[in-house]
Structure 1
Amino acid sequence: MTFKKSRLSAQHSNNITEKPEQPTDPWAIFRALRDAHTYYGLRAGQLQTLQAMLSFLKPGQGETVFASNSELCRRIGGIDERTLRRHIDRFVKLGFIQRHNSPNHKRYRVSASDGTCLSFGLSLAPFFERAHEILETAHQHQQDKRDRLFIHKRILSQLARIDEDQGASDLTAEFRKALRRKLNLTEYQALFARLADTMAEMSTAVDALETSILSANDGQNARQLSMSKKISIDLEREAINEPPKIGLLTNVCEEACSFSQHPIKTWNDVEAHARTLAPMMGINSHQFQAAREKLGVWKASSAIFILLQMGSKVKNFAAYFNSLTVGIHAPKFNPESLLNRMAQRTVVGA
């Protein structure tokens, strides 16, 4: 439905003179506004009011609604006049409607013989004048919605990969909890970037750990050799089934032992102390238990001691722990080999 332009007299410059209509389908504009209603802060009831008002417009009869409040209420579906006035006030505030009140507050139109009109009612001219803005906003809103859905699915896909490699954890649960909130595009992008950083840390955890325990005296050549290998020599070896000597663990991992109030003599002592240290490192009991069930108590506990000995060289204890114990590197995690190399470093450094 389009609207034919009315002739205007130059002598009528006030806002109650009927303005030319915009040659745009009003229902196309309405659908665009409906699609972008959250951008304008509109609710469903308010859109129904606008829809009813548009239904009173007739081709060639201008852009002003002359129906009374009672007629509008009936067409909307029986809302009360108080609610109707609130809806109209909202559209006036947004700049989509102008009130042109007559002296007796009735809504009507009078015409001169030359075709000039004076209209008293609810003018939807601003709504039509902003057609381009509304259509563009709706298009951008749809693009934004598609991008948000795309990133949402990408995050879920990455979380599924983490769960498949390492099992469910508090890390993935935290991201899924964030996804339950209503996020804007910027927040989705930030969440995805954070997840990508976390996965990068986890994928390079073993390489970074191996690099960090090389002797400083080995020089640049040894560092480059370690960085050139996607999987370290130690991890390529089949993991042994026997635990290292406790003396090797306690002598190398002095940092972990310094927090113990009692001598560590058995693997039960090691496990008990590892469970005490884990929360201090951001590793919760569920992660430790999952590692224990997959690799056994001595490997899970050794990982805690070894990572703590690395100190500031490890950026994210929880991510590294998962990668070593329940991730793709877990089957070849060899604590004894790592401890021996750390011991050699200590001797060379001395």
Structure 2
Amino acid sequence: METGYITTPFGRRPMTLAMVRRQVTTEQAAAASSVDKWRVFRDVGDARSRLGLQDRALAVLNALLSFFPAVELSSEKNLIVFPSNAQLSARANGIAGTTLRKCLGMLVEAGIIIRKDSPNGKRYARKGDEGDIEDAYGFSLAPLIARASEFAALAQDVAAEQRRFRIAKDRLTIVRRDVRKLITVGMEEKLAGDWAAAEACFIEIVGRFARRPTLPDLIASLDEMSLLHEEVSRMLETQEKIEKNDGNDIAFGCHIQNSNTESCNELEPRFEKKQGEKSVPTKRTERKGEPEAFPLSMVLRACPEIGSFGPGGSIGSWREMMSAAVTIRSMLGVSPSAYEDACEVMGQAAAAIAIACIYERAGHINSAGGYLRDLTAKARRGEFSLGPMLFALLRANSRPVRASA
């Protein structure tokens, strides 16, 4: 019945190159002998977000399939169904005629069905002397056979993404709960750290939660909340009071006001040491130059200015990040020896992050080289962590999202 002839729609309906390609692809994929029409329908339904289909379009597709008498769609059978709009509307829960035509257009545009219009645009079939259908005009269901494996793969991909979404949502819920309770412990026990600032950060992050988050939204919120969890946990473990002369500084860092790198404690926390206590360097392992605690996406959100120095105006890997940092190092007037010393003590990726943070706050620093040397010295003594610096910039560069009315 399917002749391979490329057909065009009736009347003013346009013909596009994409429709031609779909017809050719459908004809070439005739090797698939048969598929269960309802199994394919379920796959299309699961993958509807990827195919650009709405629920009503699925109801119309379900009605079209109901006019095909067999359960199996086979290339050996006539795959064209030809119900009238009135019949389709009745089987699609009484859908309005305008909506019905729109949904049919969506199914055609998505490559789910193919139009085979008659000379006058009507849908009908001609039968031979023995009662068999010789020719029919309506909608061809052949793409459901040709693309059955594609629809199945899309459905599996959507299911996997939904699993990742649920996992990320569960993790965010747990981390949010943990941070809230840990901050409460710090405030009630009056432990070291500015817990009011920690609580303000927590409220700010929660306030940016989207009402209907996507997977990237959840990952971004989870990154920020995890970093806050790391800092709050470290503050709890210290259990010491902040130095009196640092009373106005918050544990997550303050703006740099001058270039005196010997006395400034901006962007990183400081705590008093117990008598006789020795500073123990913080061990931050790196894997192929990538700090395990800081995803590249988080760094780029905290330091967006460095992105324009990547190839093509964007950064997509840690190698590109470190290359851009070398360029910025020269622009800031940081000597090669100072940067090499930072790379040796912090690691190449961590040094690149430090340079990006300094460039982000360049207007507040008179001597970038001196400031980097100060950070390197503190890192050598185990008194410097990138976390507070990044989190301070994340807060500064994040724009609060207005809740819709």
Q: TM-score range by the shorter chain?
A: 0.5 to 0.7
Q: Give the whole-Å Cα distance in 2 for the aligned partners of 1:166 and 1:197.
A: 14
Q: What is the SS of the residue equivalent to 1:120?
A: strand
- Percent identity between the aligned chains? 23
The equivalent position to 1:39 in structure 2, one of 46, 50, 61, is 50
Q: Secondary structure at the match of 1:137?
A: helix
Structure 1 position 124, deviation (Å): 1.8
Q: 1:111 to 1:28 in 2, by over 3 A?
A: same
Call closer, same or farther: CA 1:205–1:105 in 2, change over 3 Å. Answer: same
Over 3 Å counting, the alpha-carbon distance change for 1:13 and 1:192 in structure 2 is: closer
Q: Distance in 2 between matches of 1:142 and 1:23?
A: 25
Equivalent residues in 2 for 1:1-350, closer than 5 Å = 12-15=3-6, 22-59=33-70, 62-110=78-126, 117-167=134-184, 169-205=199-235, 231=238, 235=240, 249=244, 253=245, 310-312=264-266, 314-315=267-268
Change beyond 3 A, Cα 1:125–1:202 = same
Q: Distance in 2 between matches of 1:198 and 1:54?
A: 53
Q: Which ranges in structure 1 are unaligned for 5 or more consecutive residues? A: 1-5, 207-229, 257-269, 284-308, 325-333, 339-350
Contact 1:29 1:135 in 2 (8 A): yes
Task: Measure, in 2, the Cα distance between the counterparts of 1:13 and 1:183.
Answer: 45
State TM-score, norm by structure 2: 0.48
Moved more, 100-109 or 187-196: 187-196
Aligned partner of residue 112 in structure 2, secondary structure: coil
Query: For the structure 1 residues 177 and 140, does the alpha-carbon distance in structure 2 shift closer, same or farther, using more than 3 Å as the test?
Result: farther
The 3-state SS of whatever aligns with 1:186 is: helix
User: Are the counterparts in 2 of residues 56 and 65 from structure 1 also a CA contact under 8 Å?
Assistant: yes
CA contact (8 A) 1:57 1:65 kept: yes
**d(CA) in 2 for partners of 1:117 and 1:170?**
74
Distance 1:113 1:74 in 2: 31
- 8 Å CA contact retained: 2:125, 2:135: yes
Larger Cα Rg: Structure 1 or Structure 2? 1
- Given that 2:44 and 2:155 are in contact with CA atoms closer than 8 Å, whether structure 1 keeps it comes out as yes
Shift of residue 157, structure 1, vs aligned partner: 0.6
Letter in 1 for 2:204: E
Distance 2:227 2:39 in 1: 44
Q: How many residues align?
A: 232
Deviates more, 1:13-22 or 1:138-147: 13-22
1:205 CA displacement: 4.4
Contact 1:96 1:126 in 2 (8 A): yes
Structure 2 letter corresponding to 1:154: R
Query: CA offsets, 1:223-260, max 9 Å, x none?
Result: xxxxxxx758xx4xxx8xxxx9xxx95xxx3xx7xxxx
Amino acid at match of 1:83: T
Q: Please report how far the alpha carbon of residue 133 of structure 1 lies from its aligned counterpart in structure 2 after TM superposition.
A: 1.1
Code of the residue aligned with 2:66 in structure 1: it is S
Task: State whether residues 22 and 129 of structure 1, in contact with CA within 8 Å, keep that contact through their aligned partners in structure 2.
Answer: no
Q: Is the 8 A contact 1:152 1:188 kept in 2?
A: yes
Normalised to the residue count of structure 1, the TM-score between the two structures is: 0.55
Distance 1:48 1:188 in 2: 31
> SS at the partner of 2:35?
coil
1:282 CA displacement: 6.8
Instruction: Tell me how large the CA RMSD over aligned residues is.
Output: 4.1
- Residue identity in the other structure for 1:186: P
Counterparts of 2:238 and 2:91 in 1: how far apart (Å)? 72
Over 3 Å counting, the alpha-carbon distance change for 1:131 and 1:64 in structure 2 is: same
3-state SS of 2:150 partner: helix
Name the CA distance, whole Å, in 1 between partners of 2:89 and 2:64. Answer: 10
Which residues of structure 2 form unaligned runs of 5+?
A: 8-22, 185-197, 256-262, 277-405
Match of 2:335 in 1: none
CA drift of 1:150 comes to 0.8
